[in-house]
Amino acid sequence: MNSRPCLILFGPPGSGKGTQAKLLRQALGMAHISTGDMLRERVASGDQLGQAVAGIMQSGGLVPDELVNRMVDDRIAQPDAANGFILDGYPRTVAQARLLDCVLRTQHIRAVVVHLKVDYNVIIARLSGRRQCPNCGALYSLSPNSPAVSEVCDYDGSKLIVRDDDREEVVVQRLKAYDSQTAPVLEFLRGAGYPCYDVQGEGRPPQAIAREIEELIGKEFASGSGQA
Ligand code: ADP
């Protein structure tokens, strides 16, 4: 029977889900599945799906559930997810959570939810100070992850840009979408029996947050009590 682990990283935009997923995927040997990254790749490739979702993403709204569900379903079946996977930015609506719950139960995948808690004022400051390399996608902030040379990518020297959806007015829309459509997902997952942990996502270095998450899920999967 398959009992590969799944870590659901949950929290508002800018709470550090992507940063934590990148730190944890090495330590835990799990695949990193980011729906935001997958959608941005499709937009950059200019394919039909990418063209259909570009406007929604730019305005801070949510992409339709069927599109995202299909993408995640396919991604979970890839060989690199066979030993477990980290979900970053999914599920984001109760409809997505219902489908995920079905997939997890059918495939006997055990899941733990980690909710990264960050004050909205901190989020607005973080995202509006964020810069991205238009070439390789690397993300920087004013601190603690500022580039060696101001406004220039450490990896390939490109001039950094502000991600389209990190403009302050779009950040406010993303937070609204989170409050109305995503926050209820946590209650759904709790009600469905998944262990849910709150983790403070500000006021300390990302590495310290990652260590806390590692300890939590280490205990959870060792105890055999994760939802299957
Ligand atoms: P953040 O979590 O910081 O908002 P992401 O990179 O996860 O950033 O997502 C960027 C955008 O991609 C979202 O604002 C939304 O438009 C779209 N998106 C990502 N994941 C989903 C999802 N699970 N359902 C619907 N839309 C999504």
Q: For the domain that residue 93 is a member of, what is the CATH number?
A: 3.40.50.300
The answer to the question of residue 210 being in a domain is yes
Please state the rounded mean pLDDT for residues 124-142. Answer: 84
Bigger pLDDT: 133 or 130? 133
Residues 17-69 pLDDT 10s? 999 999 999 889 999 999 999 999 999 999 999 999 999 999 999 999 999 99
Q: Is the preceding peptide bond at 144 cis, omega within 30 degrees of 0? A: yes
Which of 35, 11, 140 shows the shortest CA–CA distance to 85? 35
* pTM, to two decimals: 0.88
Q: Which of 3-17, 143-157, 207-221 has the lowest mean pLDDT?
A: 143-157
Nearest-CA residue for ligand 1 atom 5 is 36
The answer to the question of residue 131 being in a domain is no
Q: CA-CA distances (angstroms) from residue 225 to 96, 219, 221?
A: 24, 9, 7
The answer to the question of residue 157 being in a domain is no
Average pLDDT score, the chain: 91
Report d(CA 11, CA 209) in Å as an integer: 14
Type of residue at 98: R
The answer to the question of residue 133 being in a domain is no
Give the pLDDT score at 164: 80
Give the pLDDT score at 139: 84
The answer to the question of residue 208 being in a domain is yes
Which of 4, 1, 9 shows the shortest CA–CA distance to 212? 9
| Most informative mutation of 38, 53, 62, 68 for ligand 1 (most atoms within 8 A of CB) | 62
Number of domains present in the structure of the chain: 1
Quick one: which H or E segment has residue 8? Answer: strand 5-10
Report d(CA 223, CA 219) in Å as an integer: 6
Report d(CA 18, CA 34) in Å as an integer: 7
Catalytic residue selected from 98, 163, 167, 211 = 163
Distance from residue 171's CA to the centre of ligand 1 (Å) = 11
Report d(CA 178, CA 14) in Å as an integer: 11
Domain residues for the domain of 219 are 5-118+179-223
Which of 136, 139, 113 shows the shortest CA–CA distance to 16? 139
Which of 20, 37, 33 shows the shortest CA–CA distance to 78? 33
The answer to the question of residue 88 being in a domain is yes
Answer whether residue 3 shows pLDDT above 80.
no
Residue 126 known to be catalytic: no
Instruction: For 104-172, give the DSSP string.
Output: HHHTT-EEEEEEEE--HHHHHHHHHT-EE-TTT--EE-SSSS--SSTTB-TTT-PBPB--GGGSHHHHH
Q: Collapsing DSSP states into helix, strand and coil, what is residue 46?
A: coil
Residues 202-215 pLDDT 10s? 999 999 999 999 99
Report whether 60 contacts 173 (CB < 8 A): yes
The answer to the question of residue 60 being in a domain is yes
The answer to the question of residue 24 being in a domain is yes
| Most informative mutation of 9, 58, 92 for ligand 1 (most atoms within 8 A of CB) | 92
Report whether 87 contacts 7 (CB < 8 A): yes
Residues 55-77 pLDDT 10s? 999 999 999 999 999 999 999 99
Give the pLDDT score at 113: 98
Give the pLDDT score at 222: 79
